[in-house]
Amino acid sequence: MKQYDVIIIGAGPAGIFSALELISRNKELKVIVLEKGKDIDARICPTKVEKVTCRKCPECSLLCGWGGAGAFSDGKLSLSKDIGGNLSRYVEDTVLQDLIHYADNIYIQYGAPYHVYGGDEQQVKALKDQAHKYGLQLIPSRIRHIGTDRCPELLKNIKRELNSKIDIEFSKEVKTILFKNDNVAGVETKDGEVIYGDFVILAPGREGSLWLEQQARIMGLSLLKNPVDIGVRVEVAASTLEPLTKITYEPKLIFHSKKFNDRVRTFCVNPYGEVVKEYVKGIWTVNGHSYSNKSATNTNFALLVSTFFTEPFDEPHLYGRYIARLANLLGRGVILQRLGDLQAGRRSTPARIARGRVKPTLIDAVPGDLSFVLPYRYLLNILEMLRALEKIAPGVNSRHTLLYGVEVKFYSRQLKLKRSLETEVKNLFAVGDGAGVSRGLIQASVSGIIAAREILKRIGDGI
């Protein structure tokens, strides 16, 4: 029988920073991290080295393993409390900003660059005022960009720090959370092993959000409504967005459509980056990367529409998966369409893509027609925002602009949590993107710190 002080499920940013905080403040603690994916050096996508289908892999190495999905993201740290999550629901603004600064320093300690974008307040204010004229809200944020190529080495540095201080088990998928009398007791893994722990931190990442929702239902935990974010990834010549990205590396812009008053936002802007695919539980979606040591000729970003559903429907996660499956059905993967073709009511063809001025960086995307995939409401919202963006970045609404579909963000159903991020089961904490409390690297990391500090407090008090 294995017995630990703390069991951490998931080795993404939230789980890693939980472990770092616990061990840095109490070296006597017995901590284990259980990760269903592989160690970072073994996280190799087979499709990059041989012609195989993604169905070969039970767990996607691009999303699971040491570092979580963030290991192969472009590594943007949004240093503003207003971006990247919902932690302001649980901690005061000043405390949250201090925690972001604390987590940011840890990233620097393990290899993040010192340079920060968006530090010229006068330029940012001018851009914000210009955006406001056209119905766009710019959320100022300083950005530290690690880079897709630099993230793995940073994560290896952290792992070297933790290797001799905690137990880490890979390819170890948790099946069930064990609890007794509304108090967590431990976990049972998929291979039948029972591991007991005084405290359990749930940090399954967004890839594990559906599993966490299932566990919450089994335990009878309260679930809160969550929106579903569905949209496209836009690709333009890098020079088109250069006036914005040179001021703030990732311009966070929000727009409310005139027709439906829906919230549309830019997400994950990748200057001089490339568009990539992700494979999540049987479906292809699209994302973007940018690097610290190499540059493409294009810039890409997502336009996401957030909508809440009304009764009787209460499964936003499944709706997002349905839209993604429809795109996969029609496009045998990711669909690519020129904006001009969409506006003209026709599908894109390989010949039409080849004649365009913007050359796709995701070369195996299939030319097609996104109007057969995205509902009218979503398409209209996206087209409205592109026209607004044209006012501050001429060329974005060009017929040559490329649209990839679909991009879907599978946020977990949020659990009812205390300010310490403890669930309704005593000593069971839920953190990170998978728990719906964060939507980015920094706030995911901070959420792990919050849970760890509460556990340290309870151990110190003898609770």
My answer on whether 220 and 233 are in the same domain is no
Last residue of a domain, one of 367, 386, 409: 409
The domain that holds 49 is classified in CATH as 3.50.50.60
My answer on whether 248 and 270 are in the same domain is yes
SS3 content of the chain, % helix, strand, coil (to 5): 35, 25, 40
282 within a domain of the structure (yes/no): yes
My answer on whether 65 and 102 are in the same domain is yes
My answer on whether 159 and 52 are in the same domain is yes
119 within a domain of the structure (yes/no): no
130 within a domain of the structure (yes/no): no
Q: How far apart are CA 195 and CA 193, in angstroms?
A: 6
My answer on whether 374 and 441 are in the same domain is no
CB half-sphere exposure, 127, CA atoms < 13 A = 26
202 within a domain of the structure (yes/no): yes
139 within a domain of the structure (yes/no): no
My answer on whether 291 and 375 are in the same domain is yes
My answer on whether 340 and 267 are in the same domain is yes
So what's the pLDDT on residue 354? Answer: 96
My answer on whether 305 and 451 are in the same domain is no
My answer on whether 68 and 195 are in the same domain is yes
Q: Which string of DSSP letters, residue by residue, matches 152-182? A: HHHHHHHHHHHHTTSEEESS--EEEEEEETT
Q: Which residues of 178-197 are buried (b: 16+ CB within 10 A; e: fewer)?
A: bbeeeebbbbebeeeeebeb
So what's the pLDDT on residue 57? Answer: 57
pLDDT by 10s per residue, the chain, length 463:
799 999 999 999 999 999 999 999 999 999 999 999 999 888 876 655 555 555 555 566 667 889 987 777 778 999 999 998 889 999 999 999 999 999 999 999 999 999 999 989 999 999 999 999 999 999 998 999 998 889 999 999 999 999 999 999 999 999 999 999 999 999 999 999 999 999 999 999 878 888 998 999 999 999 887 677 899 999 999 999 999 999 999 999 999 999 999 999 999 999 999 999 887 768 889 999 888 777 889 999 999 998 766 667 667 778 888 999 999 999 888 999 999 999 999 999 999 999 999 999 999 999 999 999 999 999 999 999 999 999 999 999 999 999 999 998 766 578 899 999 999 999 999 999 888 899 889 999 999 999 999 999 999 865 4
Give the count of domains, the chain: 2
Residue 247 sits at φ, ψ, to 5 deg, of -90, -50
Q: Which residues of 37-47 are buried (b: 16+ CB within 10 A; e: fewer)?
A: bbbbeebeeeb
My answer on whether 385 and 264 are in the same domain is yes
237 within a domain of the structure (yes/no): yes
298 within a domain of the structure (yes/no): yes
Domain that holds residue 384: 228-409
So what's the pLDDT on residue 59? Answer: 60
User: Which element (helix H / strand E) includes 385?
Assistant: helix 376-392
My answer on whether 97 and 21 are in the same domain is yes
Q: How far apart are CA 400 and CA 17, in angstroms?
A: 43
Structure tokens given for 412: 């977990």
314 within a domain of the structure (yes/no): yes
My answer on whether 237 and 220 are in the same domain is no
